[in-house]
Amino acid sequence: MALYGAQIWGAVFLREAVLFDSPLQRLWSHALRRALGQRSACAHRVLLQEAGARPLQFYWLRACVMFWNGCIESDNSLVRVALLGEITLRAKPGKSATWLSRVAAALSDLNAQGHSFTLVSRERNPLPVPLDSLALAWDQRWDKQWAGIRGDPRQLTEVPARRLLVYKGHFLSAKPSAFERPAYLSEMLPWRAVRSLTQLRLGVAPVRSTCRARGEDTPYCQRVCLRCGAGVDDEHHLLFDCASTAACRRDYPGVLPQVQTVRELVKCADHLLLVKFVHACAERLTQ
Ligand SMILES: [Zn+2]
């Protein structure tokens, strides 16, 4: 449904700067958030990555380019006239809001990453765009944007940026453009327990107790765990160190002995054991 007519109306949402701005993308993100059982707002980028789904913009750009390529290949004289008319219109001064100029602007965003997609030759002849290369370029840009998210999450006070860093540090796969759903989401596991693990991965688990007490701009080092008072409350503290979850570590002795980081922990092959352990820890957050 999200693709219906996207060749026409989708052109206004193809620029890199408006990746998550379209009402339909927001609606879809909301649906994904509900499907994953998350009520809090979490970053679009993290949400889509966790769901193994590309942003709608990717499919709209591909639909526009397929439409363009189809027009070029068409034998229909009317289509040919319309195509040349669009090229002529775009060439007129001040005509920056045409369909062709919008698609060209989206391709220029990709070209800024070292590609060379062109819709029209110097002689004003329409040129087809290779779809495989386009998809590859889009995925490469997605990977680069993840690579550009750097920093120490423990130094950040801005919560959305910290969520991105935490996800990248603990949960992002080596190749984010693979858009693979984590295995635990594809198995029949207890729903509440799965939701707790998803919350933790999306950075919306209610850790950082003193942060909630003092406000979101509390420096990370001052976000001391209110349950045990012995450390900064974050994902690692909750699962590995917090005294309030010591009983969980005793109850699930098979989860932790082999691992020392959250990144290693979530690779646990026994997903049932993993979600049960994380859920048991997460329940301590609300007690
Ligand atoms: Zn604690």
CA of 224 to the centre of ligand 1 (A): 8
What token pair was written down for 194?
């799965």
Beta bridge partners of 120: 126
CA of 225 to the centre of ligand 1 (A): 5
CA of 240 to the centre of ligand 1 (A): 9
CA of 232 to the centre of ligand 1 (A): 7
Q: Given this model, what pLDDT does residue 22 score?
A: 92
Q: Is the pLDDT of residue 210 over 80?
A: no
The whole-angstrom separation of Cα 282 and Cα 217 is: 23
CA of 208 to the centre of ligand 1 (A): 9
Least confident of 199-203, 217-221, 258-262: 217-221
pTM here is 0.85
What is the widest separation between alpha-carbon atoms in the chain? Answer: 76
The whole-angstrom separation of Cα 193 and Cα 195 is: 5
Q: Are 110 and 134 in contact (CB under 8 A)?
A: yes
Q: Which of 31-45, 80-94, 266-280 has the highest mean pLDDT?
A: 266-280
CA of 271 to the centre of ligand 1 (A): 24
CA of 285 to the centre of ligand 1 (A): 10
CA of 127 to the centre of ligand 1 (A): 61
- pLDDT-derived band at 206 (thresholds 50, 70, 90) equals confident
Q: Given this model, what pLDDT does residue 280 score?
A: 93
The whole-angstrom separation of Cα 177 and Cα 231 is: 35
Domain ranges of the chain: 6-19+55-147, 153-285
CA of 43 to the centre of ligand 1 (A): 26
The whole-angstrom separation of Cα 234 and Cα 7 is: 44
